[in-house]
Structure 1
């Protein structure tokens, strides 16, 4: 059973572009929420609170929004000031600790395909590049009908089968796909996200999935309605005190190189942080993701919460309940690994 490896905490806490980053420090504090409030709001059991205070990483339930949705959350208590956690995130210290990220970059306003010049298939990945030349609607890649046609046109124009030449040509074509998708999202937000062509008239709709993920968050709706509104209506209603930007990563997912586009807004202060991440384009394996994370003062350190809602076609259909259970466990395992990396960076 080939289940997706959902987007990891590294994408968020390591400021790794991925797949849609919205970081707003101290929103929890500004909203009057304490660590105890957040523990109660996300439903961490009393027994787990004791484990949390002993330095263990604990999990909590997050509602799922449909047959393609995977969701879970974890929490950790760090004996360090929230300001240090904010510093680690802002300085992008964690990206270096993720062995699955092979390249990443920031996309300035107005930039085109040149912003993705470091995204490339290597000669050793020529088979993956050839799969794109022969791509058809389906689950192997997340591409629109028009994007699939673009790779078909590239194949027709190539007059070589040399591994290096194929990898370079496909990389160049994919960079135009990434640039076009990012520009469309910048102009129209969710309405600018093209659906993935699955064949036989079927589509995967990451815009609808991200809308569902945003609306499903009761914490956003009740305590951060301005953030929920900003996510749903971007590029309108952007918070005035937030600095937004975009990035990308090339991350190994299920053994394959995977371009991921990320949106981020940053507002930072020293006494806490709330982080929202939106991955609005993912090359394959899962369709989209949205992350909520928070760091607020707690005891003699900081409480860090992290939850993710991911959407993937790989957990729907026959055996759905089992697929969801396995997928959540895989997601939680990877999130814990990244939390441990955060702890090492903060303490280092």
Structure 2
């Protein structure tokens, strides 16, 4: 069963011009309403010359992800239920000295906003010599931080996402914000209520209809020449009766720069064994909160959207190579 591009885009609120561009094999970038005060958001639609079944596997395994995003320094995927953190490393080389110093001072920096660490995680760095800490010592603690973050999320879902300690003993709750923005996805909840309930209640209330697949991994990004670690959870849902796939991609921990990232998308079969892929990506960052937030969000969303569009164009090209 196939669907018409025009009908699906119209259901999402987009007109004939957008449908024409998509059918012309353009990656179309849409403005997407932000759902929280700290959010940057961008939406995309494109046709890919692969079936939804093919793309489901590509999405879960991210086998083209590293090639399509040049900010990725290293990526590890879960194998046989185990996610290996042994290759966690501070890089690039020119940032190592500053990164070691920053983590070595994490316990006494009174919630420096540049590192996303809980109060307990900051305490883990307390035993390091602030002046003589080594790269290897910091990396060993980071491995434990990331492994514990994964364990807590797998056991408790969004309730297990630990707070980030901020300045003046304040804290930020990324898990609560992820819940808030997920609850506001009205269209996705209407199309697949069981799937969206699972995205909120994970690891509980897994859908009893349709097929659910999941994947985990971690990434070391180079953001502003600094190491940025994230742990992600991917879930795809196939409704065979209705013929579509839904997916969410959640970075439930990010070590710096952003608070979290979540993308929710859909994949529909269209004619000529192609797929219509639609996705809305939302990034939480403190940089757009507060005074002038609306203008900063608008500018930040445009910049982020441009970068993501370029990545999607590369990803589509790589995905179409069988």
Q: How does 1:295-310 map to 2 (within 5 A)?
A: 295-300=267-272, 301-310=274-283
Structure 1 position 116 matched with structure 2 position 85: yes
Q: CA–CA distance in 1 between the matches of 2:191 and 2:259?
A: 28
Of the candidates 248, 264, 268, which is equivalent to residue 276 of structure 1?
248
Q: CA–CA distance in 2 between the matches of 1:80 and 1:186?
A: 32
Structure 1 position 85 matched with structure 2 position 55: yes
Q: Deviations over 1:271-311 (max 9, x none)?
A: 65322111110011110121112221224322111111221
- Other-structure match for 2:18: 48
Q: CA–CA distance in 2 between the matches of 1:180 and 1:267?
A: 27
Of the candidates 305, 312, 317, which is equivalent to residue 285 of structure 2?
312
Q: CA–CA distance in 1 between the matches of 2:53 and 2:82?
A: 32
Q: CA–CA distance in 2 between the matches of 1:296 and 1:290?
A: 20
Q: CA–CA distance in 2 between the matches of 1:79 and 1:111?
A: 33
Given that 1:41 and 1:219 are in contact with CA atoms closer than 8 Å, whether structure 2 keeps it comes out as no
Give the TM-score, by structure 2 length: 0.87
Given that 1:294 and 1:305 are in contact with CA atoms closer than 8 Å, whether structure 2 keeps it comes out as yes
Instruction: Work out the number of aligned pairs and report it.
Output: 310
Given that 1:315 and 1:323 are in contact with CA atoms closer than 8 Å, whether structure 2 keeps it comes out as yes
Given that 1:290 and 1:310 are in contact with CA atoms closer than 8 Å, whether structure 2 keeps it comes out as yes
Distance change >3 Å, CA 327–CA 154, structure 1 → 2:
same
Q: CA–CA distance in 1 between the matches of 2:311 and 2:245?
A: 18
Q: CA–CA distance in 2 between the matches of 1:99 and 1:263?
A: 21
- Other-structure match for 2:229: 259
- Other-structure match for 1:22: none
- Other-structure match for 2:135: 167
Given that 1:185 and 1:193 are in contact with CA atoms closer than 8 Å, whether structure 2 keeps it comes out as yes
SS of structure 1 residue aligned to 2:181: helix
Distance change >3 Å, CA 105–CA 60, structure 1 → 2:
same
Given that 1:77 and 1:302 are in contact with CA atoms closer than 8 Å, whether structure 2 keeps it comes out as yes
**Alpha-carbon offset, residue 76 of structure 1:** 1.1
Deviates more, 1:281-290 or 1:302-311: 302-311
Q: CA–CA distance in 1 between the matches of 2:238 and 2:220?
A: 26
**Alpha-carbon offset, residue 77 of structure 1:** 2.0
Given that 2:244 and 2:266 are in contact with CA atoms closer than 8 Å, whether structure 1 keeps it comes out as yes
**Alpha-carbon offset, residue 106 of structure 1:** 2.6
Structure 1 position 132 matched with structure 2 position 100: no
Deviates more, 1:328-337 or 1:290-299: 290-299
Q: CA–CA distance in 1 between the matches of 2:81 and 2:64?
A: 27
**Alpha-carbon offset, residue 56 of structure 1:** 1.8
SS of structure 2 residue aligned to 1:77: strand
Given that 1:104 and 1:118 are in contact with CA atoms closer than 8 Å, whether structure 2 keeps it comes out as no
Given that 2:22 and 2:46 are in contact with CA atoms closer than 8 Å, whether structure 1 keeps it comes out as yes
Deviates more, 1:85-94 or 1:138-147: 85-94
Of the candidates 114, 122, 134, which is equivalent to residue 148 of structure 1?
122
Given that 1:245 and 1:265 are in contact with CA atoms closer than 8 Å, whether structure 2 keeps it comes out as yes
SS of structure 1 residue aligned to 2:36: coil
Unaligned 5+ runs, structure 2: none
Distance change >3 Å, CA 155–CA 37, structure 1 → 2:
farther
- Other-structure match for 1:212: 180
Unaligned 5+ runs, structure 1: 1-28
Q: CA–CA distance in 2 between the matches of 1:154 and 1:109?
A: 34
Distance change >3 Å, CA 85–CA 266, structure 1 → 2:
closer
